[in-house]
Amino acid sequence: MIRTDWTRAEIAYLFELPFSELMFRAAETHRANHAAGEVQLCTLLSIKTGGCPEDCGYCSQSVTANSGLKAEKLIDIDAVLAAAAEAKAAGSQRFCMGAAWREPKDRDMGAVCDMVAGVKAMGLETCMTLGMLSGEQARQLADAGLDYYNHNIDTSPEHYRDIITTRTFQERLDTLAEVRGAGMAVCCGGIVGMGETREDRVGFVHALATLPRHPESVPVNALVPIRGTVLGDLLADTPLARIDDIEFVRTVAVARITMPHSMVRLSAGRESMSEATQALCFMAGANSIFTGDKLLTTANAGDSKDAALLAKLGMVPMTAPEPMRAMEVAE
């Protein structure tokens, strides 16, 4: 039975366990629900960069940021399909597309739905993150064949207003409900290392683990401080710029224990992590990564470096479709 009634006290207790005990429990949970030596490879492409009206303090694509990033138009479908083909050839199983919008305009829905259909026809899982969705927009994406919709809660409900003021926490949850209502799987996680406390990390995991249904995919990002953003300027030259590695691994482990069937993905920030830290994350139950040289606008480890790391750890890319695996676990 999958629990969705976790209390904050229970999650705080997990965070406070001796590290070896927490790792043991997370590894046990992982092995009971997933293949321990497999990692899902995903690729992320920015299909519309910059000019976002939101004021997320971590994001270089916000119009409020002085990051030097220029607003661009929605890219051509042929460019998307070419990038998807390259990702598939490099071993990616899921292709994710992100647009710097508060929400998509109805006039853009035909183009993004064509992108979904085209990538889906290549045999890749599809994921999009376009901001908030109406019920009708969610249904259009579902009809086009979109497998996953990403919409992160970012942080705890209490810390949220310190990070973004142009969209409420509840609006995030409303979009997740529209995605669920349209029959798509949910990709939802957040960012740690944004000056939050451990109590906030407890609240972040609690918010995800008490959703009516756990996200099928939970990306855990470590903040990449970018000059010109609120958090980048605040944290880039301070010890808070990177979350402590052990605390980051603890967050991954607690996410795994509380959401046992979810794919837990190491996302942004991995390019600056040591191989040892990444190995600990895999031991703690992370089983998905973004590969390639770039994540939207920030650097990423790269395909060859990832392949070398997985080989060193004796791990292999996942080959079977993840939704099928989820069904098998559920049965």
- The answer to whether residue 187 is catalytic is yes
Share the mean pLDDT of the chain.
Answer: 88
Q: Is the pLDDT of residue 261 over 60?
A: yes
Strands 263-266 vs 288-290: parallel, antiparallel or unpaired: parallel
Of 167, 155, 232, 242, the residue nearest 199 (C-alpha): 155
Q: Give the whole-angstrom CA distance, residue 50 versus residue 124.
A: 26
Beta-bridged to residue 154, according to DSSP, are 190
Q: Which pLDDT score, from 0 to 100, does residue 53 have?
A: 86
User: Which of 42, 127, 188, 281 does the annotation list as catalytic?
Assistant: 127
| pLDDT interval class at 200 (50, 70, 90) | very high
Phi, psi of 95 (to 5 degrees): -115, 120
User: Helix crossing, 135-144 with 106-120: angle to 10°?
Assistant: 30
Helix (H) or strand (E) holding 160: none
Q: Give the whole-angstrom CA distance, residue 270 versus residue 266.
A: 7
| pLDDT interval class at 229 (50, 70, 90) | confident
Q: Which pLDDT score, from 0 to 100, does residue 307 have?
A: 86
Q: Is the pLDDT of residue 303 over 80?
A: no
Owner of token pair 């979810």: 262
Go through the domains of the chain in sequence order and give each one's CATH number. Answer: 8-330 (3.20.20.70)
Q: What is the pTM of this model?
A: 0.89
User: Which of 59, 113, 188, 281 does the annotation list as catalytic?
Assistant: 59
Q: Is the pLDDT of residue 240 over 80?
A: no
- The answer to whether residue 52 is catalytic is yes
Q: Which pLDDT score, from 0 to 100, does residue 327 have?
A: 34
Mean pLDDT (whole number) for 111-120: 96
Instruction: Render pLDDT for 5-21 as a digit per residue (tens, 0 to 9).
Output: 999 999 999 999 999 99
Mean pLDDT (whole number) for 288-315: 73
Mean pLDDT (whole number) for 224-229: 82
Q: Which pLDDT score, from 0 to 100, does residue 324 have?
A: 37
Q: Which pLDDT score, from 0 to 100, does residue 293 have?
A: 58
User: Which of 25, 42, 167, 187 does the annotation list as catalytic?
Assistant: 187
Mean pLDDT (whole number) for 185-211: 96
Beta-bridged to residue 191, according to DSSP, are 221
Phi, psi of 286 (to 5 degrees): -65, 135
| The Cα angle at residue 264 between residues 187 and 237, in degrees rounded to 5 | 95
Q: Is the pLDDT of residue 238 over 80?
A: no
User: Mean pLDDT highest for which of 163-167, 226-230, 319-323?
Assistant: 163-167
- The answer to whether residue 96 is catalytic is yes
| pLDDT interval class at 153 (50, 70, 90) | very high
Q: Give the whole-angstrom CA distance, residue 301 versus residue 299.
A: 7
Q: Percentage of the chain with pLDDT > 90? A: 69
- Dig out the tokens for 64 from the structure: 């409020």
Q: Which pLDDT score, from 0 to 100, does residue 235 have?
A: 76
User: Which of 25, 42, 52, 113 does the annotation list as catalytic?
Assistant: 52
DSSP 196-207: --HHHHHHHHHH
- The answer to whether residue 42 is catalytic is no
Mean pLDDT (whole number) for 170-184: 96
Q: 93 or 239, which is more confident?
A: 93
Q: Give the whole-angstrom CA distance, residue 265 versus residue 279.
A: 13
- Dig out the tokens for 260 from the structure: 């046992």
- The answer to whether residue 113 is catalytic is no
User: Which of 265, 270, 281, 325 does the annotation list as catalytic?
Assistant: 265
Q: Which pLDDT score, from 0 to 100, does residue 8 have?
A: 98
Q: Residue 5: count other Cβ atoms within 10 Å of its Cβ.
A: 7
- Dihedral angle computed from the Cα positions of residues 327, 179, 286 and 226, in that order, rounded to the nearest 10 degrees: 160
User: Which of 25, 42, 56, 188 does the annotation list as catalytic?
Assistant: 56
User: Which of 25, 42, 94, 96 does the annotation list as catalytic?
Assistant: 96
Alpha helices in 35-105 (DSSP H): 77-89
Instruction: Render pLDDT for 81-108 as a digit per residue (tens, 0 to 9).
Output: 999 999 998 888 999 999 999 999 999 9
